[in-house]
A and B are shown apart, each in its own frame.
Chain A
Amino acid sequence: MFSEFFQFSFSGITLGAIYALVALGFTLIYNASHVINFAQGEFLMIGGMGTVVLMDAGAPIYLAIPGAIVMAGIAGVLLHKLAIAPAKNADVVTLIIITIGASIFLRGLAQIFWGKDYHALPAFSDTESLSVGGAVLLTQSLWILGIATLLVVALGLFFTRTALGKALLATSMNKDAASMVGIKTGAILTLAFGIAALLGAVAGVIVAPITFTAYDIGIMLGLKGFIAAAIGGLGSSTGAILGGLLLGLAEAYTAGYISSDYKDAVPFVLILVILFFLPNGLLGSRAVERV
């Protein structure tokens, strides 16, 4: 009874950590540019599929993973430089449509060059599972939690301890004033897209041993990450993390106690319920505490 609950909670937190990373990517770009980047899910796909492709080409996993993450980072930078930045006078809705177009384009490229098959990455540890008090825990879950925590801490340090991180926050808060202190706001926006892509790619790699990866995984994972960000109150990093964990837990409990058939409906029900009672999300609308 308790071991079951423990098991579901653990897999929920694992999933939630992934959603949280995706949601942080949405939040970062939203704060920097007010754009909701619907290509965010494709960075997970590039992380997962890129690793698969590099390993197929003979690269060992410890080179394939960083290679795929760098690939996604480049895709993020190019997305901003080639698709978003040139449309500088476009309104936000147009920019959002551009990101949808970019996601279809990236997915199409992956389908053509990397194929339509589903792939599994090997788990990072040789021992695949541990038995703790009657519950079976995947060691990959521990990797996911560890790496996600590390990334969140690193991101926190970046924003609180580095000039570049503060310049990004300043640009999010007031772009003109940021220009007036000498911040190159265009480059800062490119950086935000790059970091969001890295976060997505890492999430895509660490989750791939559990969930499989393929050219089209970005659609669902991206959507769930967006819902996690919206639940948390678009624009709040803490909210994105809470939203991610809440969504992961809700999915795991639904799959465990009700039926896994309903699992994918959970995000949509959850966002309707939460936005009905809290239209600004869990931590939204406190304008001063953005990012």
Chain B
Amino acid sequence: MSETLLDLSGIRTGYGRIEALHGLDVTIDKGETVALVGANGAGKSTLLRVISGLQPLSGGSVTFDGDNLARCKAADRVHRGIVQVPEGRQVFAGLSVEDNLTLGAFSRRRDKTVPDDLDAMYQRFPILKEKRRLHAGNLSGGQQQMLAMARALMAKPKLLLLDEPSMGLAPLIIDEIFGIITELKQEGITIFVVEQNASEALAIADRGYVLETGDIVATGSGEMLLNDDSVKAAYLGG
């Protein structure tokens, strides 16, 4: 019954002569929430950049919704529904919150429903409505993370890529962010979330992968990985 949305096969890439990913296989089904956990420098961001078309492949293939994306440029992938919330938020600091959100919908800027979607986004994130005229750079870290997520949602993603959404945030804010991710999951958006901070990500995920220096070393249901002794030892603080 389950239908594959994203199929990564034999992914190889690197920086200069140094290979960062050594031939990974990952699949994500429609409607699934999948977590990728691994230590700093394991290659998590590199993998997400591969999926978004920002990091060129030296081997392997990315198949989305049945199509090979080899010739699909980064901007076109957003148009197709692959949307990333990058590590460290990367909001457009010198633009207003509202400009950040409307730019989120850049790939469908001729769509007449964008203003309605903006209203809906303000209902979901009231704090962004309150701050809509401020420069995004003036928001707190947690607010910037919400803005980055809202900006991505404005593109109407079919596959939402989240790169360390909890990075550098206070525990209460982290709970709030994962609450939002759970809501998005319930709404049926397919989610691929990458975390160094593994426990929260695995707790909300249907399935997980563990990445170690460019290789997948374990995979299974989120629950199974949470209870796996070696995963516990390496990523969950024992």
Taking Cβ atoms with an 8 Å cutoff, the residues of A that contact B are 163, 166-167, 169-170, 173-174, 176-185, 287-291
Contact = CB atoms under 8 A, between A and B. Distances in A.
A171 B84 CA distance: 16
Interface in B75-113: 75-76, 78-79, 83-84, 86, 90-95, 99, 102-104, 106-107, 109
15 contacts: A163-B103, A166-B95, A166-B99, A173-B93, A173-B95, A176-B90, A179-B53, A180-B78, A181-B78, A181-B103, A181-B155, A182-B78, A287-B93, A288-B93, A290-B94
B94 A182 contact: no
A290 B93 CA distance: 10
B106 A181 contact: yes
Nearest to B108: A182
Which 10 pairs of residues, A with B, have the shortest CB-CB distance? A182-B107, A182-B78, A177-B90, A179-B74, A184-B75, A170-B92, A288-B94, A182-B75, A182-B106, A180-B84
Contact of B92 (A169, A179, A184, A289): A169
B141 interface: no
A177 B107 contact: no
B155 A170 contact: no
**Most chain A CB atoms below 10 A, which of B74, B84, B86:** B74
A259 B126 CA distance: 64
Interface of B: 52-54, 73-76, 78-79, 83-84, 86, 90-95, 99, 102-104, 106-107, 109, 135, 137, 151-152, 155
Contact of A179 (B54, B94, B135, B151): B54
A183 B75 contact: yes
Contacts of B102: 163, 166
**Most chain B CB atoms below 10 A, which of A170, A177, A184, A288:** A177
Given A163-B102, A166-B103, A167-B106, A180 B83 contact: yes
Contact of B109 (A163, A176, A290, A291): A163
Given A174-B92, A178-B103, 4 more contacts: A169-B94, A178-B92, A181-B83, A288-B94
A286 B76 CA distance: 33
B137 A288 contact: yes
A166 B99 CA distance: 8
Contact of B74 (A167, A169, A180, A288): A180
Contacts of B151: 181
Nearest to A176: B54
Contacts of B135: 288
Contacts of A183: 75, 103, 106
A289 B94 contact: yes
Contacts of B109: 163
B189 to A, nearest CB: 16
Nearest to B83: A180
Contacts of A169: 92, 94-95
Given A163-B106, A184-B73, A184-B75, A179 B52 contact: yes
A181 B107 CA distance: 7
